[in-house]
A and B are shown apart, each in its own frame.
Chain A
Amino acid sequence: MKAYPAEFELVAPRTLPDALSLLAREPGGWLPVAGGTDVMVQYSAGKLPARKLVSIWNLPELRRIEVTADEIQIGAGCTYTDLREHELINREFPLLSSSASWTGGIANQNRGTLGGNIINASPAADSLPALLVYEADLLLVSARGERRVPYVGFHIGYRKTQLAAGELIRAICLKTQFSGYYAHARKVGARNAQAISKVCLAALGLLADGVVDDIRLAMGSIAPIPVRLSETERIVKGKHIDPLLIQSARTMAASEVRPIDDIRSSARYRAAVAGNLVAEFLEQLGARGLRSENAKNVLARWNVWSRAKPLRRSCPVAAQKPGRTGWQLEDHSSMKRPYWLPVTKSGKASRKPIGWKRFEAIRGLAIHFRQPPRLRGLPLGQAKNSKKLELQARMSRSLLRQATARTNKNSTAFSLSVPLANPRTKFLKSSGGVCRMTK
C-alpha cells in the first residue's frame, strides 16, 4: 500500500442533510465515497488527490428504491446486488440487472453503487449504456435544493460530469415504458466477471409488423463517455430486418464508434466488435419477429423463395425476400466478401456474379453454402458432368430439408422428399420442391 492513512480524513454523517451541509461548507473540498470500489483502489495505489473524504455509504435516503405508477426511482446508493435482487428492475429493466450482474464479482456488487458508477464516469462502466437506452433522469441534490437532469449529456467528457460542487446524485429515475421491447445486453471482455469491458452494448428494439418500430443502441468502452449509436439507429428504424440491413448496420456501427487503443484492446478490434454486436442484436431481433410469425406463412413464403430459379449451378437454392426484387448490393466498397445476386420472381437478375464463395440466405433459414467439392478422378465427358450435377442436386436437397426443418421445427417437413433434379438440365431445378404442412 502506497498511501498513509494518517494523511486522510474520513467522516461519516448519519443522514443525507448532514452530508449535504458538510459538502456545502467547503464546496469541492470533500470527496464523497460510497462503496469504495473505485475510490479505495485509487487510495491504495497512492493516486487519490483528495485528502478529505465523506462517507455516504448506507445513507438511508440513498439506499431506497421507490416505485410509482409510471416511474421507478433507484437511490444512488443502491448496490448492484440491490438492483439484481429487485423484482421490478429484473422484469422491466433487464438491461440494468444484467449489466449489474457482470460488474465486478459478488463482493464488488455488494459494495459498488449505481450512483458511484455514474460519478466515477469511467468510459468502461457497464451499467451506463443501459441508463442511456432507458433514457434515465438523474435527481441531483445539494444543500441548495434538488434538480432533475436527463442522464443523456450528464457526462461531458473523459471522467467529467455536470455535477456541481457540493452536489450528490440522490436517485436515478427510469420510466416504466419499455414492456414490449426486446432487450439485449452484451459485454465483451477477457471474462464476464471482474474484467473491465472492451466493448459493452445495451440495446432495445421494438418490432411492429416485422418492421423495426423503435431501436436504441448504446455502447460503453468505445468513446470517452458511453454513447448512443444514433446514426445506426437511424438507418435501421422503420425497416425490415434482412441480411443486407444487418450488414449495413454492422458497417455503420463500426464506423460510427471512435474507440481508442489502450491496454485492454485496440481501436480496430473494438470497432469490429461494435459492428458485430449490433449485427448480433439485429439478428436476434429479426429472429424474434420470425418466431412470432405463423408457421404456415413462413412455409408458404419459403415455397415462394425456393421456386425462384437459381442463377448458377454453384448456387443451388436462392432464398429471397418476397416483395423485393432480388438481392441488392447497396455498397460494394464496404463489403469485403462478394455476395451472390439471385434471381427475382420474374426471373430477371444480374448476370454478373459477384462471387460464389459464400451465399447468405434469409435469417432463420440462414445457410452458409459452399461450392460443392471439386470432383477429381472422374471420367471425362458426360459422365463427369452428370455426376457433378447429381452431387449438386443432393446438396441442394439436403439444404432445402434443413431450411424447412429450421423454419418449422414441429412439422414433419424434415422428412419430406424433394424430387430429384433432372441431371440433364443445365440449370438446377431442385428448388422446385414444395413443402406442405403435415399433421
Chain B
Amino acid sequence: MSQAPLDRAKSEITFTVNEKLETVHVYAMERLLDVLRHELGLTGTKEGCGEGECGSCSVLIDGMLVNSCLIPALQANDTKIVTIEGLAADGRLQILQQAFLVCGGAQCGICTPGMILASLHLLEKKPQPTLEEIREGLSGNLCRCTGYIQIFEAVADAARRGAST
C-alpha cells in the first residue's frame, strides 16, 4: 500500500441482523465479518483463516450459508443476516446448540459458531440427513479439537430431536 490512501466516503448500509434492523456507516469494501464484529459488537462470529477455507466466520445471509470474511459490506445491503447470537431465544439454547453441548461437539469454541450455522443450514435443507450428508454439509468448516465425530453426532442428535422444525 505504497500509494497515498484515497479516503473514499463511507456508505450507509442497512440490513437485518438477527431480526433487528441495523444501519451502519462503513467502507463499501469492508468485510462483513469486520462490520459484524467491530461495528455491531457481534463477536460470536470468529475469524479463522480469513480466506474462506475454515468456515469459522460462517453466517446465514437470506438463509444461505456464507463465509462473512469474503463478503464486502455493500453486498450485504438489504439482506437478512443470522449470526450465532440470533439462535438462542429468551436465554434458552436452540436444540442444535443443546446437542453440541450434550455430545461434546464444542471444545475450544473457535469453530463452533460456524459449525452450528452450517448445521442449521444443512438441517433446513435436509431435516433428516445421513452421516454422509452431514459430513458434506460441514465439509467447509474446520475443527482442530474434536475430531469431528462428536460434531457429527451432535447434528444427528439434533436432527432426531427435530431441530429443523
Contact = CB atoms under 8 A, between A and B. Distances in A.
Contacts of B64: 81, 110
Interface centre among B7, B58, B75, by most A CB within 10 Å? B75
Contacts of A107: 52, 55, 58, 65-67, 118, 140
A36 B55 contact: no
A26 to B, nearest CB: 16
Interface in B39-73: 50-53, 55, 58, 64-67, 69-72
A43 interface: yes
Contacts of A193: 136, 139-140
Interface stretch (B28-36, B91-99, B147-155, B156-164): B28-36
B83 interface: no
B51 A41 contact: yes
Nearest to A7: B5
Contacts of B137: 106
Given A44-B69, A194-B140, A9 B8 contact: yes
Contact of A5 (B30, B51, B77): B30
Interface residues of A, number: 40
B128 interface: no
A53 interface: yes
Given A46-B1, A107-B140, A194-B140, A53 B75 contact: no
Contacts of A53: 29, 72
A111 B139 contact: no
A62 to B, nearest CB: 14
A104 B52 contact: yes
B52 A1 contact: no
A11 interface: yes
A10 B140 contact: no
Given A44-B69, A111-B67, A192 B75 contact: no
A151 to B, nearest CB: 26
Nearest to B71: A36
Given A40-B72, A194-B140, A106 B65 contact: yes
B1 A4 contact: yes
A58 B61 CA distance: 13
A273 interface: no
B15 interface: no
B29 A192 contact: no
Interface centre among B29, B69, B75, B140, by most A CB within 10 Å? B29
A6 B6 contact: yes
A165 interface: no
B141 interface: yes
Contact of A37 (B8, B70, B74, B118): B70
Contacts of A10: 28-29, 72, 74
A55 B72 contact: yes
Contact of A106 (B1, B26, B29, B140): B140
Interface in A7-28: 7-12
A57 B75 contact: yes
Given A33-B72, A37-B52, A41-B70, A11 B139 contact: no
A33 B7 CA distance: 21
A55 B74 contact: yes
A105 interface: yes
A45 interface: yes
A40 B66 contact: no
Contacts of A106: 65, 118, 121-122, 136-137, 139-140
Interface centre among B1, B3, B52, B53, by most A CB within 10 Å? B52
Contacts of A6: 5-8, 27
13 contacts: A1-B50, A4-B1, A5-B28, A6-B5, A7-B3, A7-B6, A8-B29, A10-B74, A11-B74, A12-B77, A107-B67, A108-B52, A110-B66
Interface of A: 1-12, 33, 35-37, 40-41, 43-46, 51, 53, 55, 57-58, 81, 101, 104-108, 110-111, 191-194
6 A-B pairs with the lowest CB-CB distances in the bound complex, closest first: A105-B140, A193-B139, A5-B27, A10-B28, A8-B29, A40-B70
Given A5-B30, A37-B70, A44-B51, 7 more contacts: A4-B1, A5-B27, A8-B28, A101-B136, A104-B140, A193-B140, A194-B53
